[in-house]
Amino acid sequence: MNAVVEVKSLTKKYGDVIAVNEVSFEIEKGEIFGLLGPNGAGKTTTVELIEGLRKPDSGFIKVCGIDVSDGIDKVKELIGVQLQTTTLYDKIRIGEAIDLFGGYYQKSLPATQILDELSLSDKEDSFVEALSGGQRQRLALALALVNDPEILFLDEPTTGLDPQARRNVWDIVRRLRERGKTIILTTHYMEEAERLCDRIGIMDQGKIIALDAPRDLIAKQNLESAIELITSNGVSTEFFHKLPKVTKITQDEDRLILHTKEASPVLTGLIRLSEGNGLNLETISVRRATLEDVFLELTGKKLRE
């Protein structure tokens, strides 16, 4: 076990609200680790505590073996952080900003190299105020990379980006992992978590309720395939328990979701059942289970409001 981040019994309260509730986990070198959960779950607070932006009420955090509570200066040299909204001075040029941040660290990469890596070379002399949303996100990422950090923290890195820009960011993240960096990202986009992360911690109300590789999270809950159906006669879930091979049934408003490891026999059984009982299936679809299903199963809530 080559843990670059160790978090043990971490707790943070804001008045009566327990934002982070006895959270413990470890992150291994070279993995892309995701914290997934709805807004307010405590993901950003947890990450801020690891970065040293906030102080915990109890528990400890070690980054590369250094205790964050008394070695924060050494920790800052080793990490890079991309905040959800990074604003800089309007009238600073991109190249100047990267040089400025580079100067804060003991070792830093040349600005031209970072600009090249993030496709910002032609914007080196542009003012920050002239950048588009996607370019600002890349600049924020560039600033997180100036010191060639061991660990990169990305807070909602693709929020507000169009699909193409989002995929560009994912490519950059994968390239960084290939270079041996450890990446910790927070997101509420299930697709992002599934596609990018080696392991995901699902957070809700300040606690980690599941932690595993995306595939395993789905498999452990016996959720592999999901058959979604909407009926016009509105029958109860008990009715569908008669079907063989159905491992779990969840209800989301007027949709019923039947989970199974084998979709075909369930579908056949479903058609037979509906024919025999005058069931009117309005919509029926089959898909692979996703983390949204896992979240719904574990918390009874939707990941996205």
Q: Which residues bind another protein (CB under 8 A)?
A: 51-53, 73, 76-77, 79, 81, 83, 85-89, 91-92, 96, 99-101, 103-106, 143
Decide if 38 contacts 188 (C-beta within 8 A): yes
Residue 12 near residue 26, CB atoms below 8 Å = no
Whichever of 73 and 275 has its CB closer to another protein, that residue is: 73
Nearest-approach distance from CB 77 to another protein, in angstroms: 6
- Residue 300: phi and psi, rounded to 5, are 75, 5
Q: In what order do the strands lie in the sheet with 255-260?
A: 246-252, 255-260, 225-231, 281-288
Q: Which one, 54 or 261, has the nearer CB to another protein?
A: 54
Dihedral Cα 53, 15, 189, 170, nearest 10 deg: 0
Residue with tokens 């955090």: 61
Instruction: Sheet containing 66-67: give its strands across.
Output: 17-28, 3-14, 58-63, 66-67
Closer to another protein at the Cβ: 83 or 190?
A: 83
Q: How far, CA to CA in Å, does 198 sit from each of 32, 180, 182?
A: 5, 14, 11
Residue (84 or 222) nearer to another protein, CB: 84
Nearer to another protein by C-beta: 99 or 150? 99
Q: Output the smallest distance, CB 33 to another protein, in A.
A: 19
CB of 173 to another protein, least distance (A): 19
CB of 130 to another protein, least distance (A): 13
**Which residue has tokens 């080196």?**
124
Least gap, CB of 103 to another protein (angstroms): 5
